[in-house]
Structure 1
Amino acid sequence: MADPHGKHHDYHLVNPSWWPFVGAIAAFVTAVGAITWMHGAPSYVLVIGFAMVLYTMFMWWRDIIIEAHAGDHTPVVSLHLRYGMLLFIVSEVMFFVAWFWAFFDASLFAGEANLAARVAATGGIWPPKGTTVFDPFHLPLLNTMILLTSGTTVTWAHHALLGNDRKGLVWGLGITIILGMIFTCVQAYEYAHAAFAFSNANGGNIYGSTFFMATGFHGFHVVVGTIFLFICWLRALKGDFTPKQHFGFEAAAWYWHFVDVVWLFLFVCIYIWGNHGGMMPLE
């Protein structure tokens, strides 16, 4: 609650808010809608839940932006917000560790003699016998160049903001968003032309499962990061952010650099090494 006698500390005591409660209900409705939809029910519950999630995000973030403009984000509060974002990114790192672990467990031990089911599924080699994989130096390399370039443009936008160059901020963010959208389109095209599939019914195998889970979740993070940057771009057009107070943009930039780094690991480990590494065929 607000202090009627004036604030005499550097912390922000937030006002009561309905949004955590509404967000929890929205998440529950979305989960129930997704489960029932996967079992053949109509998708309207899922759509309603997703709309509730989007509404909660918009309203909650609006309140936080209002708090920032009101001066509630003191240096101490801003520092703690940065700690929170860093911890969130660490949790995301561990999320991707799980998918890398699954990929390396499958590829490094494709021909392990005491794993009969694994050998039967892979033919004792990696990539599994009969699997046609992507050329890493075609579309994957193009997407690597796109993401690396986007990391440069978002850094340009950040330095422009620090120098109070509003035009550079808007242009840097705009180009980064366009590059993120191009990356997503290229990956969608790549997926549409994959010679392997995620589903066993479509001839999929363990290679397709580990490949799509790792690269697919990264693609989802690219979409989220693009939306994150788009919101920052809209705020920049409205005149938000100052050289001294711009945590919203800074968090988006950190997230985007995290997405870049994860892709580099995916490109090297899955597209390059994963296409030629693994165990040799059983003798």
Structure 2
Amino acid sequence: MSADVAATRRYFVPRPSPYPALMSFSIMLLAIGLGLGVNGYPAGRWFAGVGIISILFALTRWIGKVIAESQGGFYHHWEDRSFRLGMIWFIVSEVVLFATLFGVLFYEREVSLPWLASLDAHFTPWPHFSGAWPSAGPAGKHFSTVYPWGIPALNTLLLVSSGATVTRAHYWLRRDRRDALTFWLALTILLGVIFLVLQAREFYEAYTELGLTLGSGVYGATFFALTGLHGFHVTVGVVMLTALLARILRGHFDASHHFAFEAVSWYWHFVDVVWLLLFVLVYWL
């Protein structure tokens, strides 16, 4: 089908694709593998490995097909509107996910512990119970919290700066200055990579020097759930930004049609805002 024919249609409908089914099957393999692994079955790692490889293959082929359709001129007003709505609802779902985890943190800190501390003086949930936050839980393992004005503060500066650099890159894209666009986008990627390296160092020090692990009671579990999930989102963002840079170097996008860049920049700003909340609610307060 030529681009001229596609342009006369109200909405471009691609041919049936095997990749959605392959993606669903791959995710199922990964879930089975993780379930088997948690329960001590050696086959779990093989299921999980095949699932991860299949996911990466399906994503690469699927996204490559979408890029080819975009470069072929098949996407117009209605497709662009659909993509924008899809990205908006995706970010809304991510907001709900992190809001749930922040809600868990609030409940643990402001509701659960004070309630347990208010129980009869002759009853304690576990030996040496203290109603103070952070709580080590029944295990009672001693740990120290991460100092907020070290790596966390530096990572905050890095992510806030990366939000400014990706905005600057978008500014030059809309003016079709590809040299400046490439520089600012590459700088954004570099800031994201440095963030991940520093977070990995923070996790290592937490485990080896502070005694803060996933087994350090409700605080340790919540801390790593929130910061680890955010780190995963930063990793995904860096991968997407790198893919954008590769496409820009190949001459993709122009000043008026570049929704893929806008979508990734929306996602990156969302990651920035979540980190600011993490820094204040998890590290600082």
**How far apart are the structure 2 equivalents of 1:6 and 1:215?**
45
Distance 1:121 1:56, change over 3 A: farther
Are the structure 2 counterparts of residues 107 and 73 from structure 1 closer, same or farther at C-alpha, using a change threshold of 3 Å? same
**Which amino acid is 1:219 matched to?**
G
Q: 1:197 aligns with which of 207, 212, 226?
A: 212
Alignment RMSD (CA, Å): 2.3
On the 8 A contact 2:144/2:212 being kept in 1, the answer is no
Q: How do 1:174-185 residues align onto structure 2 when only pairs under 5 Å count?
A: 174-185=186-197
Counterpart of 1:250, as a letter, is E
Whether the aligned pair in 1 keeps the contact of 2:12 and 2:74 (CA below 8 Å) is: yes
1:15-47 CA distance string (max 9 Å, x none): 111111111111112222222233231422211
Letter in structure 2 aligned against 1:77: E
Q: Work out the CA distance in 1 between the residues paired with 2:277 and 2:257.
A: 32
Q: TM-score scaled by structure 1?
A: 0.88
**Distance (whole Å) between structure 1 residues aligned to residue 177 and residue 130 of structure 2:** 58
Q: Which residue of 2 aligns with 1:41?
A: 42
1:267–1:199 distance in 2 versus 1, CA, 3 Å = closer
Q: Is the 8 A contact 1:197 1:205 kept in 2?
A: no
The residue aligned with 2:139 is none
Q: For CA contacts below 8 A with separation 6 or more, give which structure has more relative contact order.
A: 1
Mean CA deviation greater in 217-226 or 26-35: 26-35
**Residue 7 of structure 1: how far off its partner (Å):** 5.6
Whole-angstrom CA distance in 2 between matches of 1:122 and 1:72: 64
Of residues 118, 123, 128 in structure 1, which corresponds to 2:135?
128
> Does the Cα contact within 8 Å between 2:165 and 2:188 map onto a contact in 1?
yes
Output the TM-score relative to the length of structure 2. 0.88
Q: In structure 1, give the amino acid aligned to 2:73.
A: G
Q: Residues 60, 117 of structure 1: CA spacing in aligned structure 2 closer, same or farther, 3 A cutoff?
A: farther
Residue by residue over 1:59-103, the C-alpha shift from the partner in whole angstroms, topping out at 9 and shown as x without a partner, is 000110111112121022101101110100000000001110111
Contact 2:7 2:76 in 1 (8 A): no
The residue type paired with residue 159 of structure 1 is: Y
In 1, the alpha carbon distance for the partners of 2:254 and 2:128 equals 56
* Structure 2 equivalent of residue 107 of structure 1: 109
Task: Give the secondary structure class of the aligned counterpart of 1:193.
Answer: helix
Note the residue ranges of structure 2 that are not aligned, 5 or more in a row.
Answer: 137-141
Aligned length: 270
- Where do residues 69-218 of structure 1 align in structure 2 (5 Å cutoff)? 69-109=71-111, 110-112=113-115, 113-114=118-119, 123-128=130-135, 131-194=143-206, 195-200=210-215, 204-218=216-230
Q: Which runs of 5+ in 1 are unaligned?
A: 274-283
Using the TM superposition, name which of 29-38 and 72-81 deviates more.
29-38
Q: For 2:124 and 2:256, how far apart are their aligned partners in 1?
A: 58
Identity %: 35
* Alpha-carbon distance in 2 for matches of 1:4, 1:237: 27
Residues 3 and 73 in structure 2, CA contact (< 8 A), matched pair in contact too:
no
Offset of 1:253 from its aligned partner? 0.7
1:222: Cα distance to partner? 0.4
Give CA-to-partner distance per residue, 1:130-169, whole Å, 9 cap, x none. Answer: 5421221111100000001111111111111101011111
Q: Deviations over 1:224-245 (max 9, x none)?
A: 1111111111111111111111
Q: Is the 8 Å Cα contact of residues 10 and 78 (structure 2) preserved in structure 1?
A: yes
After TM superposition, the structure 1 stretch with the greater mean CA deviation from structure 2, 215-224 or 41-50, is 41-50
Structure 1 residue 176 displacement after superposition = 0.9
What is the rounded CA distance, in whole Å, between the counterparts of 1:121 and 1:158 in structure 2?
55
| Equivalent AA in structure 2 for residue 55 of structure 1 | F
Cα distance change, pair 269–91 in 1 and its aligned pair in 2 (3 A) = same
Q: Is the 8 A contact 1:23 1:56 kept in 2?
A: yes
Read off the aligned partner of 2:114 and give its amino acid letter: G
The CA distance in 1 between the partners of 2:83 and 2:124, in whole Å, is 47
